[in-house]
Structure 1
Amino acid sequence: MKAPDLLRLSDNVVLARFETMKVYAALGAVRTLLDRGTVRPGQTLVDSSSGIYALALAMACHRYGLGCHIVASTTVDAAMRAQLEILGATVDQMPPSDSLRLDQERRVCRVRQLLAERGDLHWMRQYHDGVHYAGYQEFAELVDTALPDAPLTVVGAVGTGASTGGLVQPLRRRGRDIRLLGLQPFGSVTFGSENFSDPEAIIAGIGSSIPFDNVRHDLYDTLHWVDFRHAMAGAVDLLRAHAVFAGLSTGAAHLVTAWEAARNPDRTHLVIGADTGHRYTERVFARHEEALDPRTLKPHQITDLAELAPPWSAMEWNRRGYDVRARTSTPDAPTKTHDKEGKAS
């Protein structure tokens, strides 16, 4: 389940289609923590998740004989919850909410409550602990072998930062010409869209209402902010044009990549397809007749965050830093610095 299928969608676009991408992150993190002695056999690991990390952590805990407790987003559906429970995880699920911020804050508060009640828990902190970068070294080796030498643009949801950062750092260290394009929803603090809202959906795996220390802003060359309806257009088109049934972040990446690839035909574009489309069946695919025609869509190109506007904006980020905590009053963890491996300290 860990390794993706690499599917060529056009001459200069390749999709890395995962069933659940974060198996790399969870396995790499759990192995590293066990090797360090930070986690002991039989201990229970706990974390907050909007879906695919929860499943990956449950599988990693199942493999290594560890307990697993998930504080789940309101977006986790019955099918996902059943898989978690069958794999031995216990689940706390947040009540329904139309607010990404409220959903994430409730989850963090619940994790802190559990830690105060139970001294045997280890908080995995997928949003903040750089150990989650470790597993993506293997993905980087796969990409380097499959797509050798060509100038490469990686397109993926920013989310926690580990998947995109953990992929491009090893590739850049090998001297590859690698550009990183990150995707964000409106309403995320990670790249400054917190003053907007997207009432149709919570795209929790793409952005955040709280600062994530695992996001290294200086790794990104370009940013695209995409609303729910544009992400939906991309997801429906990906199924219609290529028979790929993938999630909402993959749909957004597909839409953005088509626009970018047409303007940069000399570069290969690698789209990270983080998960399948099953948990989006009702909210996205059952509404396919409402989907916008992606051929009619294009971004509002901006040069400053003050110009940011829905439904789709694009900006050259140019690998610069960004102090999220200076813009928000809801820190979730102590401020951290990062070393060259993406490890938080």
Structure 2
Amino acid sequence: MIHRHMAEALKSPLLVRLSERVVLARFESMKIYSALAAVRGLLERGTIRPGHTLVDSSSGIYAYALALACHRYGTRCHIVASTTVDTTTLAQLEILGATVEQVAPSEDLKLDQKLRVARVKEILAERPDAHWMRQYHDRIHCAGYHEIAGKLAAALPAGRPLTVVGGVGSGASTGGLAERLRDRLADVRLVGVQPFGSVTFGSEDHHDPEAIIAGIGSSIPFDNVRHDLYDTVHWLDFTHAMAGTVALLREHAVFAGLSTGAAHLVARWEARREPGRLHLVIGADTGHRYVPRVFARHKEAPDPAGLRPTEIGSLAELAMPWSVMAWDRATYDHGHDQDHDHEKDHEKERTA
């Protein structure tokens, strides 16, 4: 197939069998699917037009995906970037035509995220023609994952119970995949992976000093996270995620990011407990931005064969470095976040 644009060529995952019970869906950059579908949908609805500026904040993966989608469909792109965005990504964004600004450096990821949201609001006030993509809260970002779910269902062995394992992040990816896969397959479990310190599944009181698992946790609530889709949740610290990431390259020659490594470690453990199920690991991106902090330190990575989670029955028992709990598709009220509420109010004003 000859593609019309590089984004179309990059969006589809490669399926790699890691074992009899585990298959990896390895994306070049997973959010390309989401961004392409979202921008296309907004254009079709008339919400935006070619030449409009699309704005959002990002820790890296989504910024690249949105810049590609804007390049593909002829819209402008402005990114409020996290301090974790590396120089390679920044250079690509700028060459693709996106304008990029980074918030002030901060060792506190929660402060970093809040600063980015605040800056987006300032930009919207300054530029009324700009459209806020709201990747964390607008359900349009699930559309691309619904599309890829159909292709994955057709490619995977028929009739075998399936467990999807991946980072929770904004909720659109693993949640969107599970929603559509459950429409097509009889037995689909969803296992979510979280870093300690994320509010999404209640680990905000646990501090991991090395946590850089960008894209799978959050310091603010996300509307796109549907807690009632998840059967099991795992919380991992940086060292365990690094162990899974290094092992993935060492054992399977797969160079992938830290969230993929965390999901890989979780899937190994889940597959031993449920040998009759096929486990699909969602590999969100490549490992390039993790070279200094992860791959260059590969000798420090523990052997994953000796790692086991603490099985807990409630969030009160949550403990580092690795915990697992049956979530059983329960809802979750993580309380009200002031910045999140202000963000929702602002969007209501814009769409009124």
What is the TM-score of this pair, normalised by structure 1?
A: 0.95
In structure 2, distance between residues paired with 1:325 and 1:277: 34
In structure 1, distance between residues paired with 2:80 and 2:254: 30
Q: Tell me the equivalent position of 1:316.
A: 326
Q: Tell me the equivalent position of 2:294.
A: 284
- Please tell me whether the aligned partners of residues 185 and 225 of structure 1 are also in contact (alpha carbons under 8 angstroms): yes
What's the offset of the Cα at 1:175? 4.2
1:237 equivalent in alignment to 2:265: no
In structure 1, distance between residues paired with 2:231 and 2:249: 28
In structure 2, distance between residues paired with 1:261 and 1:98: 36
Structure 2 counterpart of 1:56, from 62, 65, 85: 65
Q: Tell me the equivalent position of 1:82.
A: 91
Identify the structure with bigger relative contact order (alpha carbons < 8 Å, sequence gap 6+). Answer: 1
In structure 1, distance between residues paired with 2:214 and 2:122: 22
Q: Tell me the equivalent position of 1:180.
A: 190
SS for the counterpart of 2:340 is: coil
1:222 equivalent in alignment to 2:232: yes
SS for the counterpart of 2:323 is: strand
Which is further off, 83-92 or 140-149?
140-149
- Please tell me whether the aligned partners of residues 129 and 214 of structure 1 are also in contact (alpha carbons under 8 angstroms): yes
In structure 2, distance between residues paired with 1:330 and 1:105: 7
Q: Tell me the equivalent position of 2:49.
A: 40
SS for the counterpart of 2:16 is: strand
In structure 2, distance between residues paired with 1:83 and 1:275: 15
Q: Tell me the equivalent position of 1:140.
A: 149
Size of the aligned set, in residue pairs, is 334
In structure 1, distance between residues paired with 2:274 and 2:107: 37
What's the offset of the Cα at 1:315? 0.2
Q: Tell me the equivalent position of 2:74.
A: 65
Structure 2 counterpart of 1:164, from 155, 165, 174: 174
Q: Tell me the equivalent position of 1:343.
A: none
The unaligned stretches of length 5 or more in structure 2 are 1-9, 346-352
Q: Tell me the equivalent position of 1:121.
A: 130
- Please tell me whether the aligned partners of residues 159 and 205 of structure 1 are also in contact (alpha carbons under 8 angstroms): yes
What's the offset of the Cα at 1:200? 1.0
Q: Tell me the equivalent position of 2:310.
A: 300
In structure 2, distance between residues paired with 1:22 and 1:223: 22
SS for the counterpart of 1:155 is: strand
What is the TM-score of this pair, normalised by structure 2?
A: 0.93
Structure 2 counterpart of 1:201, from 184, 208, 211: 211
In structure 1, distance between residues paired with 2:144 and 2:52: 21
In structure 2, distance between residues paired with 1:97 and 1:313: 28
What's the offset of the Cα at 1:39? 0.8
In structure 2, distance between residues paired with 1:25 and 1:98: 29
| RMSD of aligned Cα (Å) | 1.1
* Structure with more of its chain in helix, by fraction: 2
> Structure 1 counterpart of 2:88, which letter?
A
In structure 2, distance between residues paired with 1:113 and 1:150: 50
Q: Tell me the equivalent position of 2:28.
A: 19
Q: Deviations over 1:140-198 (max 9, x none)?
A: 11111111321100000000000011111111112431000000011100000011111
